[in-house]
Amino acid sequence: MEIFPAIDIKSGNCVRLLQGDFDKVTVYGNSPIDMAKRWASTGAKNLHVVDLDGALAGDGVNEKVILDICKVVNMDVQTGGGIRTMADIDRKLSLGISRVILGTAAVENEDLVKEAILKYGEKIAVGIDAKEGKVATAGWREVSTLDAVDFGKKMASFGIQTFIYTDIATDGMLSGCNVDAMRIMTEETGVNVIASGGVSSLDDIRKLKDAGVYGVIIGKALYTGHIDLEEALKVAEG
């Protein structure tokens, strides 16, 4: 299993949101670059970076910071937030980002997904953010009638190989993750699922690993000290 420390960027700071609510922000540092170096120093190979301002604005507000992160750490960096066009995708992948995550754009523009997969293959991932099993978009402010698993199946049929699957109800709550939802998405789609939301202990990581989940994003639990990243990496590798 792969571990992805998370860096969410808002107004240039490292932050965490509570259940995706932009009005419930906790700042954990003013240098995303320093935070990336910190996680790299533990031996982590992957990094999950989200441009929260970009998710709201629809373009890469914090793109320069994210590209600077790619330059200073020897990690595979996946990023999402405000990626809406092929030009956005081309630019990010040309500058060192390993995987681009399409969220709202994947829901609203299936042709973009198909074009991106045709050109970049496994470097394209789809972020599926779900609230009570339904897909949410626009920085989680809007919830559709689209069933998350059905949407996952459609994206898999286009050739998507990786999902970042977030359970909004558990995100930032340190209450444990929705293991069943992650297992079902994995089994129903046959795609690599990176679980996000609510991971608060090493036991959560073990449960997700047993469920066949490909990877796990750890955010708030790292910043609060509930999970030690080195220990998490050992569990994932063991």
**Residue 210: CB partners within 8 Å, gap ≥ 6?**
none
Question: Which helix (H) or strand (E) segment is 128 a member of?
Answer: strand 124-131
8 is catalytic: yes
Whole-angstrom distance, CA of residue 159 vs CA of residue 80:
19
Can you tell me the distance from the alpha carbon of 76 to that of 205, in angstroms, rounded to the nearest whole number? 20
**For residue 7, which of 66, 75, 72 has the smallest C-alpha distance?**
66
- What CA–CA distances, in Å, run from 53 to 57, 101, 107, 234? 6, 15, 19, 33
- Whether 129 is a known active-site residue: answer yes
Task: Considering the candidates 8, 53, 167, 171, report the single residue annotated as catalytic.
Answer: 8
Cα(238)–Cα(234) distance, rounded to whole angstroms?
A: 6
C-alpha distances in Å from residue 86, one per residue of 27, 42, 118, 147, 151:
32, 34, 12, 26, 21
Q: Which of 88, 129, 171, 204 is catalytic?
A: 129
Active site amino acids: 8, 129
